[in-house]
Amino acid sequence: MRGDRRSPGNAAGPHIVSRSSNGIRGHAPVPHGTERGAGRLAHCAVLVGALLLVGCPPAESAPPRPCVLLLTIDRFANLADPEVDVPHLDALRAQGVEFEDAVAASPDLRANCAAILTGLHPTNSGCHTLFQPVSAASWTMAERCYEQDVWTGAVVAVAPMANALGLEQGFEEYDGQLYDGPDQVVPIARSWLADRAVSDGGFLMWLHLGGETLGPVDRAVGALRAALDENGLAARTTIVLAGTRGLVTTGDLAMSVPLVIHHPDTSPAVRSERVGLIDIAPTALELLIGHPGEGHDATSLVGPILGLPADHHAVATEIDLGEVRIAYCRGWRSTRRIGQDPVPLLPPADPPRDVENALRVALGAAPLPEIEAEPEPASD
């Protein structure tokens, strides 16, 4: 049994951050072993009972579980560079689903990584800047996976994430050592992929590749896809490639980021609906454990990935200015002064209901109450 929600850590080297051993958030681990332990004991009882039945045919083995390879890069709104040949990135975009209107949760790299892992806006995850930890109340998708026996590992080879401050929550291995670019990250990931190939279990692997220049990122993407093929994992692995630095490139002040998702059963497509980095967590969870989880500010993108109509939802971008936080959504802006207004101050023109809700949630206020359906008139 794996114990509690905190990362079990690994003694393989000093660069592996252990949640349970270093207490980064300053308090003791919160045990969740009771629920999981009870379920595991019940499972064992059933298994023992089945083994005692004589003459029963052997049960069919379960199919291999799905996997997710999450690649994040320090990149703004595009994956193209006229001066650099990027054949592997071009192939990933051509073979996957590219969301051309994806927006960041924040202009900050760490805040966006926290949004990706938790499915929460910065106000709700607690992480706005490079030095703020993820709130102890926030669950990461790695924790959800860990509870469902999905292996989790991360290599984040840049300074802002070396001091994890909650980003490592739920990862069995979290490598925060500083490396000299993606070329040094790939061998670690290849080793991990080789280890995963001997099992039918699923995995969530997060690699932050830097990305100020696209050439090394392109080589890394090619090497990682080759490793998936070599280890027989490509047919059950979804690749998510996302940028982590927002840039205002739209008329409504949203901060654009690149987002490409390649699923083994995907038909290539370019999707125009607006989505957010916060949507990655419920998407990965639905792929890995069969449901998107609860408590997110986000919506799963599994439907759009598989070519289905998207659930329409508004996505907000938030900027932290210290005492004041500002959220933007489809041209509307909402502000909140910390510690004073429990509800965001809306601009004079009333926004659509879904936009107002997105602004409220982004700034930590309660969403609007549900509208009750009017009863149908009684038939004569």
Residue that wins the pLDDT comparison between 50 and 150: 150
The pLDDT value recorded for residue 304 is 87
Could you tell me if 170 and 266 lie in one domain? yes
Could you tell me if 213 and 343 lie in one domain? no
Mean pLDDT of 275-282: 92
- In this model, does residue 344 exceed pLDDT 90? no
CB atoms within 10 A of CB 57: 5
Could you tell me if 241 and 353 lie in one domain? no
Low-confidence winner among 46-55, 190-199, 282-291 (lowest mean pLDDT): 46-55
CB atoms within 10 A of CB 32: 17
Share of the chain above pLDDT 90, in %: 33
Mean pLDDT of 306-326: 69
Most confident of 175-179, 245-249, 326-330: 175-179
Measured CA to CA, the distance from residue 133 to residue 125 in angstroms comes to 9
Amino acid at 175: D
Residue 220's DSSP bridge partners are none
95: containing domain: 67-305
Could you tell me if 140 and 226 lie in one domain? yes
Look at residue 379 and tell me if it is in a domain: no
The pLDDT value recorded for residue 369 is 74
Measured CA to CA, the distance from residue 176 to residue 181 in angstroms comes to 13
Look at residue 38 and tell me if it is in a domain: no
Residue that wins the pLDDT comparison between 278 and 58: 278
The pLDDT value recorded for residue 74 is 83
Look at residue 28 and tell me if it is in a domain: no
The pLDDT value recorded for residue 153 is 95
Got the DSSP string for 177-198?
---SSHHHHHHHHHHHHHHHHT
Look at residue 48 and tell me if it is in a domain: no
Look at residue 172 and tell me if it is in a domain: yes
Look at residue 367 and tell me if it is in a domain: no
Measured CA to CA, the distance from residue 332 to residue 315 in angstroms comes to 11
Task: Write the CATH number for 149.
Answer: 3.40.720.10
Could you tell me if 229 and 351 lie in one domain? no
Most confident of 36-40, 224-228, 251-255, 331-335: 224-228
Confidence of residue 2 (pLDDT cuts 50, 70, 90): very low
Tokens representing residue 21 in the block: 């051993």
Could you tell me if 73 and 214 lie in one domain? yes
Could you tell me if 108 and 229 lie in one domain? yes
Q: What is the pTM of this model?
A: 0.76
Residue 345's DSSP bridge partners are 335
Low-confidence winner among 6-15, 22-31, 73-82 (lowest mean pLDDT): 22-31
Residue that wins the pLDDT comparison between 346 and 118: 118
The pLDDT value recorded for residue 371 is 66
Could you tell me if 106 and 171 lie in one domain? yes
Confidence of residue 373 (pLDDT cuts 50, 70, 90): low
Look at residue 98 and tell me if it is in a domain: yes
Could you tell me if 92 and 139 lie in one domain? yes
Handedness of CA 335, 337, 339, 343 (dihedral sign): negative
- In this model, does residue 11 exceed pLDDT 50? no
The pLDDT value recorded for residue 253 is 55
What does the buried/exposed string (b/e) look like for 172-201 if buried means 16 or more CB atoms within 10 Å of the residue's CB? Answer: bbbbbbebebbeebbebbbebbeebeeeee
Mean pLDDT of 14-24: 33
287-297 confidence digits (pLDDT tens): 999 998 888 88
Mean pLDDT of 159-177: 81
Residue 256: phi, psi to the nearest 5? Answer: -75, 145
The pLDDT value recorded for residue 240 is 97
Average per-residue pLDDT for the chain: 76
Look at residue 47 and tell me if it is in a domain: no
Could you tell me if 251 and 353 lie in one domain? no
Confidence of residue 220 (pLDDT cuts 50, 70, 90): very high
- In 3D space, the residue among 232, 301, 312, 210 whose CA is nearest the CA of residue 262 turns out to be 301
Structural domain count of the chain: 2
The pLDDT value recorded for residue 335 is 74
Per the document, the length of the chain is: 380
CB atoms within 10 A of CB 233: 19
Tokens representing residue 326 in the block: 């500002």
Residue 309: phi, psi to the nearest 5? Answer: -60, 145
Share of the chain above pLDDT 70, in %: 66
Residue that wins the pLDDT comparison between 324 and 205: 205
Could you tell me if 262 and 347 lie in one domain? no
- In this model, does residue 234 exceed pLDDT 70? yes
Mean pLDDT of 69-90: 82
Could you tell me if 326 and 296 lie in one domain? no
Got the DSSP string for 148-162?
TT-EEEEEE-SHHHH
